Amino acid sequence: MLRWAIFIILYTLVDIYAFQALKTLTKNPWIYGIYVFVSLAILAALIYQISTMGAGKVLDIKTMYVFGIFLVVFVPKLIVIIFMFAEDIGRFFTGIFMKIAGSTEVPFMASRRKFVSTIALGIAAIPFASLIYGMVQGKYNYKVLKYALEFDDLPEEFDGFTLTQISDIHSGSFDNHHKVEYAVNLINEQKSDVILFTGDLVNNVADEMNDWKELFSTLKAPEGVFSVLGNHDYGDYVNWKSATEKNENLQKLKAIQKDMGWDLLLNENKYLERNGKKIALVGVENWGENGFKQAGDLDKACVGISEKDFKILMSHDPSHWQAKVKEDPRNFQLTLSGHTHGMQFGIEIPGWFKWSPIKYRYKNWAGIYEEFGRYINVNRGFGFLGYPGRVGIWPEISVIQLKKRQNNV
């Protein structure tokens, strides 16, 4: 109750402050009434939706949309009050200076206040429109990102080998079968040698895949479809009635992947062979920092493979690469991760610039990174969670071609 009280107070203060900008531009009481009604309706909907999520506390698509609409309205208000507060601070210090100087003028000009309010509302319209677009179109704005990586120790037989990586499907968030079907077909159209899924098939429970199992079973590749578990796949964010019920959910999720024809790697490895040569595909369970599950076991996953083998590691959380993998003497040449979603929000100009607030939590958060001659690709995610949309950081299908580096003498 205390947290709700604090939230409501802060929400009200932001609302009142932002309302001042509106008052400088219009005196229409109908507009005032609409503003108040929308603010109260969104607050009430958010409180109701969260308080009625049930004992399981499962974040469903309806709750996500309520949260998304809240962001659409609240974020622009924060932008407005930044401008209004800056103007008030400027006016405050100007008033002090004028008083010291002995001036009797009032340090407030209605025209200046109106100008600042207009600028603030104009700039606030950008996140308002962007967040709406992200919910309507951005979340299904799939992009195929292609990379070619060169390695000295890649067997000649695998020169040109291609893999398609997807991650963070979060099937419990989907609400448009046609759009998801388009994306699944797009994956198959890449005609890669192997398809690799790096975790978070669901938001919370295995049943979320009931409507999507048949569709994702159509993913096919010559070398197969392989997968690992992400932090959401374990059901850790559900208030289960018992440990047995939670375990049954996990077993059901594993069975679903098997039924779809996916080969789930649970701290284990598989060899891919060509003309007598092979590369190792290593899959670990989730291993994360900052309170995330650490079930991944590299030692167990590497049983039976040689340090000299070329290795592709599938590990859901990229913090695993920073903490344990990139300097491991067994030399994992390529690691594939997901998890961050690129925060589903940011600014990206391919090949030139990329930024998202998530970069301040994860050093490796989107795309290809290289250290010590070893690479990691952090997939931006196929689905979405929390905010039911994407702005600037689009859902991704990664296609990576492995190349044998040619040593020119």
pLDDT at 2: 78
Percent of the chain residues topping a pLDDT of 70: 93
Overall average pLDDT of the 328-346 stretch? 97
Q: Tell me if 323 is assigned to some domain.
A: yes
Tell me: the pLDDT tens digits for 181-195? 999 999 999 999 999
Task: Find the mean pLDDT for residues 204-215.
Answer: 97
Dump pLDDT digits (tens) for 254-312: 999 999 999 999 999 999 999 999 999 999 999 999 899 999 999 999 999 998 999 99
Give per-residue pLDDT as tens, 78-98: 999 888 877 777 666 666 766
Q: Pick the residue with more confidence: 107 or 40?
A: 40
Q: Indicate if 126 and 167 belong to the same structural domain.
A: no
Mean pLDDT of all residues in 352-373: 95
- Winning range, highest mean pLDDT, from 77-81, 115-119, 210-214: 210-214
Question: If pLDDT is split at 50, 70 and 90, which confidence band does 103 have?
Answer: low
Classify residue 117: in a domain, yes or no: yes
Same domain as 317, residue 348 = yes
Same domain? 282 vs 396: yes
Residue 173 and residue 248 in one domain: yes
So what's the pLDDT on residue 118? Answer: 85
CATH number (domain holding residue 213): 3.60.21.10
Residue 409 lies in a domain: no
Same domain, 122 and 147: no
In angstroms, the CA 330 to CA 324 distance is 11
pLDDT score for 54: 54
- Work out the mean pLDDT of the chain and round it to a whole number: 92
Instruction: Tell me, yes or no, whether 319 and 357 share the same domain.
Output: yes
Task: Tell me what pLDDT residue 55 has.
Answer: 47
Structural domain including 393 reads 141-404
Number of domains observed in the structure of the chain:
2
Give the confidence band of 23 by pLDDT, cuts at 50, 70, 90: confident
> Where a domain ends, among 86, 106, 136?
136
Q: Domain boundary residue among 99, 115, 136? A: 136
Residues 76, 174 within the same domain: no
Residue 296 lies in a domain: yes
Lowest-confidence region among 90-104, 131-145, 342-356, 370-384? 90-104
- Confidence grade of residue 173 (pLDDT, cut at 50, 70, 90): very high
User: In the predicted model, is pLDDT for residue 109 greater than 70?
Assistant: no
118 and 173 co-located in one domain: no
The reply to whether 349 and 324 lie within a common domain is: yes
Residues 112 and 219 in one domain: no
Which one of 136, 163, 184 terminates a domain? 136
Summarize the confidence of residues 214-220 as an average pLDDT: 98
